[in-house]
Structure 1
Amino acid sequence: MTKLLLDYAALEPLLILLADGEFHSGQELGDHLGVSRTAVWKHLQKLEVLGLPLTSSRGHGYCLEGGLELFDSDVLRAHLTPAAREALTELELFPLTDSTNARAMAKAALGRGGYVCLAEQQSAGRGRRGRHWVSPFGKNIYLSLSWCFESGAAALEGLSLAVGVALVRVLKELGLPELALKWPNDVLCHRSKLAGVLLEMTGDPSGACQVVVGVGLNVDMPEPASTGIDQPWTDVQSTLRKEGLPPVSRNFLAAALISELLVLLKDYETKGFEAYRKEWLALDAFAGREVELRATDRVIRGRVVGVGETGALCLDVNGEQQFFYGGEVSLRAVS
């Protein structure tokens, strides 16, 4: 990671110049950076470290296919709602990090609430059940927020489901169709995974505690990076193109998510999951369907009835309603 950070520090001015997606000659790049064309070539070769698609053309120069929109703290702050600006205590951007949740957990352990961080790329991004989260550079949103709660774990019931509702609210504003939620923490579009949520807690489970909400959202997933994904997936930009809608700024989208999530966290201890339950039920991807719930040591088959007041999944198992809670479980439809 240290080597990558050193490479990025040297590459950042070059990335900013190439971010427009246009061709730039080696001479032009050298003049802007104040280095020789040989030095420019050496820097360009290092773009492979970040997995970026560099194209070269004799007589035209070099370009990053499709361009690149890096996160910008000034742009992000400018697009936050007033309520989010009030709730935000710190916004931190990382070009490269192991995991935004790990960064936010370190802040949470110090009792820091209202902290938000974003990364251009993660080397150890995680989903639920320890799954690796595919994190190509500068293409998606890897976001974590920390918040302090006074009432312990009981105040957090249903929080991951409420976060899913908040994500859908933002995505609906873009015009994305067929959005749905898969219990307990996935956002789907056209039945393919678009985003995931990972919650972690530190502190006293029965008193003052800190929670980190991690969100991974596929914005413009490159096909080569997707080989590491083991389930149907989609992303925001390709869906917008199919709908004939304009692309969205990654900074604008991240700011909208931060705004929605900070307000959710600020009010959640008072409102609880009940304020989001009706919306969640309307978005339930498996409502009324036969499913298999897989836990560590067993498989339960039943029909999805809905979710309870605390966000627990309700299944009709052989005519009896049973409730199941999040954790090391997975849910899949029965064919």
Structure 2
Amino acid sequence: MDQTEHSLEPRLRRVLTLLSDGELHSGQELGQLLGVSRTAVWKQLQKLGDWGVEVVSVKGRGYCLSGGLDLLERDGIEAAMDEKARALCSELALLAVVDSTNRYALERVPAPAAGFVCLAERQSAGRGRRGRDWVSPFGRNIYLSVVWDYEGGAQALEGLSLAVGVTVAEALEDVGVLGTQLKWPNDIYWQGRKLGGILLEMAGDPAGSCRVVVGLGLNMGMPETAAKGIDQPWADLHHIEPHLHRSALAGAILNRLLPRLAAFQVEGFGVYRERWHALDAFAGQEVTLRTPTQAVSGMACGVDAGGALVLNVDGERHSFYGGEISLRLAK
């Protein structure tokens, strides 16, 4: 992907910043701000439309972004980060449009890369588990990836996605969002609806030195038009905590996430297991687990020391590890 697609052109940034208040602004005002003609203003607004940003035109009065827009701000993110998080963050990249923050982090970051953080305003090919698309409208949600390097390969990373889930739930509590729950292995729920998801991807030696990219998507101000692509009940943070800003939330997440990633090699999942159990959305309920070859129904009994899901099936306990698995409440 061409590098210009990652960065927000200064001219376009000024247009977005002006329109982000949700108020009407005339074409003349926009033209004066940019030092261009009204025709050139219209071309800039067309670019926003290509990114899925809905610009409302009111004849004779101007243009606006319905509901405004909360753009990511480097200063705002860094101001929300504490001293420890800033020390662990080796680089903070803010992208305008990218195919996937995880893919960008995996392909663009040279070794060593621990502490590389990237956030995007929009993902054109955001990904969830099992190859599913992740709905990623411009400037509305959180699309964040963090890189960390580990020794010991996949075995040393058992339960990491669950530990990240606990970490995100705690970060949300820090900013006043209570009642978050976790669905094994990597979904974030609120009142039975999906609020976000975690996607871990690994590169390197499966038994030795490896790099992990932790991807996080959180619904923050999901437009109804974009939500048509979501195939399950969903929630977003603006309905829970309307005054929360994206930059402040990103900083709060990094305050929790960066130290956890730094410590996980030593701590492992064990120190997070009971906290995960306290947040388990399906605890004690009848569920159905589906793999490519079978469907298993039983009572959800939490997770074992390695983060595997434990089901009570006809009086016997069975452990199931991640992969091509889906988990739903039994009908």
Q: Which band: TM-score by shorter chain?
A: over 0.9
Are 2:321 and 1:320 aligned? no
Are 2:296 and 1:300 aligned? yes
Q: 1:23 is matched by which residue type in structure 2?
A: L
- Other-structure match for 2:61: 60
- Which structure 2 residues correspond to residues 139-178 of structure 1 after superposition, within 5 A? 139-178=140-179
CA distance in 1, matches of 2:256, 2:276: 16
Q: 1:50 is matched by which residue type in structure 2?
A: W
Residue pair 1:312, 1:323 contacting (<8 A) in 2 also: yes
Q: 1:74 to 1:8 in 2, by over 3 A?
A: closer
Q: 1:39 deviation in Å? A: 1.8
Q: 1:170 is matched by which residue type in structure 2?
A: A
The answer to which of 21-30 and 56-65 deviates more is: 56-65
Identity, in percent, stands at 53
The answer to which of 2-11 and 211-220 deviates more is: 2-11
CA distance in 2, matches of 1:106, 1:77: 25
Deviations 1:268-311 (A, max 9, x none): 11111111111100111111111111011111111111111111
Q: 1:41 deviation in Å? A: 2.4
- Other-structure match for 1:26: 27
Residue pair 1:147, 1:210 contacting (<8 A) in 2 also: yes
- Other-structure match for 2:306: 310
- Other-structure match for 1:5: 5
SS of 1:228 mapped into structure 2 = coil
CA distance in 2, matches of 1:225, 1:217: 14
Q: 1:37 is matched by which residue type in structure 2?
A: R
Deviations 1:199-256 (A, max 9, x none): 011112222111110000001000000011111111000222xxxxx41010000111
Q: 1:180 is matched by which residue type in structure 2?
A: Q
Residue pair 2:175, 2:252 contacting (<8 A) in 1 also: no
Deviations 1:122-157 (A, max 9, x none): 111100000000000010011000101122222211
TM, length-normalised to structure 1 = 0.94
Residue pair 2:81, 2:252 contacting (<8 A) in 1 also: yes
Q: 1:254 to 1:7 in 2, by over 3 A?
A: closer
- Other-structure match for 2:86: 85
CA distance in 1, matches of 2:233, 2:139: 22
Residue pair 1:7, 1:46 contacting (<8 A) in 2 also: no
- Structure 1 gaps, min length 5: 241-245
Q: 1:102 to 1:275 in 2, by over 3 A?
A: same
- Other-structure match for 2:282: 286
SS of 1:55 mapped into structure 2 = strand
- Other-structure match for 1:264: 260
Residue pair 2:287, 2:330 contacting (<8 A) in 1 also: yes
- Other-structure match for 1:103: 104
CA RMSD of aligned residues (A): 1.8
- Structure 2 gaps, min length 5: none
- Other-structure match for 1:243: none
Residue pair 2:7, 2:95 contacting (<8 A) in 1 also: no
SS of 1:200 mapped into structure 2 = strand
Q: 1:173 to 1:126 in 2, by over 3 A?
A: same
Q: 1:177 deviation in Å? A: 3.8
Residue pair 1:107, 1:146 contacting (<8 A) in 2 also: no
Instruction: Choose the corresponding residue for 1:277, options 268, 273, 276.
Output: 273
Q: 1:6 deviation in Å? A: 9.3
- Other-structure match for 2:216: 215
Residue pair 1:107, 1:115 contacting (<8 A) in 2 also: no
TM, length-normalised to structure 2 = 0.95
Q: 1:71 deviation in Å? A: 1.4
Q: 1:21 deviation in Å? A: 1.6
CA distance in 2, matches of 1:320, 1:6: 51
CA distance in 2, matches of 1:326, 1:303: 17
